[in-house]
Structure 1
């Protein structure tokens, strides 16, 4: 299903959909999984990715991205219950339709009993690491990612 944009027309599928998910993976021992982007050595993040045009619910994308980026199953995946809207960073704006300036991000959490080995997709990420909540919040590049990690820490 292709959703109309704010302007009312249906965008071409050659562009990314301006709707994404953020999945904070953390352990019951107090660690947060971060992934370092392959295309930017200083950009650390949680699991994230755009919804595919045919995905009808953000949860579908969260399950898919979790599997693609980490090899983890979504057993226990929780909807955080909030949505962020933010300006798309200039370096990635060309991936979206020309009139698109903002992205809508749906947040999720996944708690694991402890750290485990992750299978990263080398086309997207160069490495992964487990950090404390505070270390992870300080390391991520995105303010929405930082906010999500700190919200998990409050619940932890």
Structure 2
């Protein structure tokens, strides 16, 4: 017996945030990060801070969630680059940004859990959700790389 689309999506959704697989989940990549580490950027123009990346991930999840709930869309931003911003400061604001990301991820998981086994009639949304899994994985890798550059990620890691 094969897996349903819903089962595959739920499993991958969980791998993206909470469950270990071939790559660390986002929650593990963010665990123990303080404000200073969250704001640190590698030298050069190409790097984003961990906090900027967290805000970017939350933005796109919130955008989809608002669409699903029939709420007014988020304001249009001038570019994708504008989603990589930090407008607050302080340890509590950093923790709130992480909680915001985890909460919107959890709300979208509830939506996935309520889907029909085949993903329901909203296959475009199902496609967008799977795309967000890949998006999370991509940016989790960036967060891990930033942490390695900082020296705040172990050289060897066990997840048994």
User: With structure 2 as the length reference, what TM-score do the two structures score?
Assistant: 0.24
Q: Which has the higher helix share?
A: 2
Q: Which has the higher contact order (CA 8 A, sep 6+)?
A: 2
Larger radius of gyration: 2
User: With structure 1 as the length reference, what TM-score do the two structures score?
Assistant: 0.25
Q: Which has the higher strand share?
A: 1
